[in-house]
Amino acid sequence: MLRSARLTRVAAALLGAALLALVFMAYLLPEFVVDLGNRLWSCF
């Protein structure tokens, strides 16, 4: 049971790191940032 909990924690940490890496890579695209800003601004 301890091994299963540890595996779940490691998998969650890896998934979180991959998600953060994708978000940071998306911000390297200027078009994406401008589009995101325009979408956010259109809400107001």
pLDDT grade for 34, boundaries at 50, 70 and 90: very high
Helix (H, G, I), strand (E, B), or coil: what is residue 29?
A: coil
Question: How do residues 2-27 score in pLDDT, each as one tens digit?
Answer: 788 899 999 999 999 999 999 899 88
Distant-in-sequence, close-in-space partners of 34: CB < 8 Å, separation ≥ 6: none
C-alpha–C-alpha distance, residues 44 and 35, integer Å:
15
C-alpha–C-alpha distance, residues 36 and 20, integer Å:
17
Which pLDDT does position 38 carry in this prediction? 95
Place of tokens 């790191």: 17
To the question of pTM greater than 0.85 for the whole model, the response is no
